[in-house]
């Protein structure tokens, strides 16, 4: 966050007693968001915005979903709370039924680089500080013919037809 922030006091201080102000969180943990907030706007303002408010900070929301879903005692309620439809409809009217939520942990530990001239690759194991931990989230829907894997944003973008589907199943 402040990688290029240097202090030149002319002499060395022990500890944290330099005498100029810093914003809150200046010495907080690196890489951790200090605040996660979406401004609350009146509904009429939201409806006039061309930007889809559901897409704001979608990566933070997806991370929060991953962490919460893994510990949720009631996964079905958690899905409803997160706005993931059990029965969704795409923009072109295709109805999808949610079968499964898949989470996958990925850890990158090596890299390959093409050799000059294109004759093969060279492999480099990554040092610990360059390894990356990622989690992949996928919602597996059935479209009547085959399974489709949707990401978090795509699943949330489906029109929710869950209530209508429950009526269909009940035979009304």
Which phi and psi (to 5°) does residue 43 adopt? -60, -35
**Euclidean distance between CA atoms 4 and 133, whole angstroms:** 25
CA distances from 146 to 68, 97, 103, 153, 156 (A): 29, 11, 20, 21, 20
Is the model's pTM score more than 0.85? no
What would the two tokens of residue 2 be? 């402040």
Domain ranges of the chain: 53-109+136-170
Q: Are strands 87-89 and 95-108 parallel, antiparallel or unpaired?
A: antiparallel
The answer to whether the CB of 69 falls within 8 A of the CB of 78 is yes
**Euclidean distance between CA atoms 81 and 94, whole angstroms:** 23
Q: pLDDT truncated to tens, each residue of the chain (172 aa)?
A: 445 555 555 444 444 455 555 554 444 444 544 444 444 544 444 444 445 555 557 788 898 999 899 899 999 999 999 999 999 999 999 999 999 999 998 999 999 999 988 789 999 999 999 999 888 899 999 999 999 999 999 999 999 999 866 655 555 4
């Amino acid at each position: 966050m402040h990688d290029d922030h240097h202090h030149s006091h002319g002499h060395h201080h022990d500890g944290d007693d330099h005498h100029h102000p810093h914003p809150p969180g200046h010495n907080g943990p690196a890489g951790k968001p200090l605040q996660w907030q979406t401004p609350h706007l009146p509904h009429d303002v939201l409806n006039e915005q061309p930007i889809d408010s559901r897409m704001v900070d979608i990566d933070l929301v997806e991370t929060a979903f991953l962490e919460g879903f893994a510990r949720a005692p009631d996964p079905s309620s958690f899905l409803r709370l997160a706005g993931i439809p059990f029965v969704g409809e795409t923009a072109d009217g295709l109805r999808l039924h949610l079968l499964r939520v898949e989470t996958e942990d990925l850890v990158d530990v090596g890299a390959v680089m093409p050799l000059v001239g294109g004759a093969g690759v060279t492999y480099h194991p990554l040092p610990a500080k360059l390894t990356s931990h990622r989690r992949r989230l996928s919602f597996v829907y059935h479209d009547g013919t085959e399974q489709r894997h949707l990401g978090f944003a795509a699943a949330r973008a489906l029109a929710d037809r869950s209530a209508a589907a429950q009526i269909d199943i009940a035979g009304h």
